[in-house]
Structure 1
Amino acid sequence: MISPEQVQTMIQEKLSNAKVKVAGDGQHFEAIIVSPDFAGKSRVKQHQIVYAALQAELASETIHALSLKTYTPEAWQAASSAPLK
């Protein structure tokens, strides 16, 4: 099993300027990622960037399911009044 904190760290290592929040039960995870690296990229491309950070864990099914919500900082500000920590 892998912890939400480990998943969060792996994403942050790939997207160094990202704000990341991950919740999950060891196999099923939900992640919110806010990164300036997403600017100008489609939602699909944004998700592919995150999947690349977790490629080994997804391939081995250490992570069985992953739900993503990705935002640029501007999109996050427009969508939410709360800062992501």
Structure 2
Amino acid sequence: MADTTIEVADIEQLIKQAVELDELHVKFDGSQCVIIAVADIFGELSRVKKQQLIYAPLKDAINQGQIHAVSIKTFTTEQWQRDKMFNLPL
């Protein structure tokens, strides 16, 4: 396990620096990370590419053992407006 700990704000900053999003919701309990990302760019990407886009900025934290598991849900703004009641921010 890495000596440094990572916080929700750190995770949000890593993602926001790499990807322009309309909304980002992160829940992190010390090792398990749940991410909801909202941006219209997701409408143009395959499911794998969506995951890779959000996963990539977290790679170092994952490799260092700061994050052990990541669950990512992506939505376009239209999908989010329709589905957010079922995927309320954490």
Interval of TM-score (by shorter of Structure 1 and Structure 2)? 0.7 to 0.9
Residue of structure 1 equivalent to 2:79: 75
Question: Runs in 1 of length 4+ with deviation above 3 angstroms?
Answer: 81-84
In structure 2, C-alpha distance between the alignment counterparts of 1:7 and 1:28, rounded to whole Å: 12
Q: How far off is 1:61 after superposition?
A: 1.9
Partner of 1:47: 51
Extract unaligned runs of 5+ from structure 2.
none
SS at match of 2:66: coil
Instruction: Check conservation: 2:25, 2:35, Cα contact below 8 A.
Output: yes
Unaligned stretches of 5+ in structure 1? Answer: none
Q: Which residue of 2 aligns with 1:23?
A: 27
Which amino acid in 2 is paired with 1:74? E
2:38 aligned with 1:34: yes
SS of residue in 1 equivalent to 2:44 = coil
1:44 is aligned with what amino acid?
V
TM-score by length of 1: 0.84
User: RMSD of aligned C-alpha atoms?
Assistant: 2.0
Give TM-score scaled by structure 2 length: 0.80
- Which has more radius of gyration? 2
Residues paired across the two proteins, number: 84
Percentage identity across paired residues of the two chains:
31
Q: How far did residue 4 of structure 1 move?
A: 1.2
Match of 2:60 among 51, 56, 59: 56
Shift of 1:83: 8.8
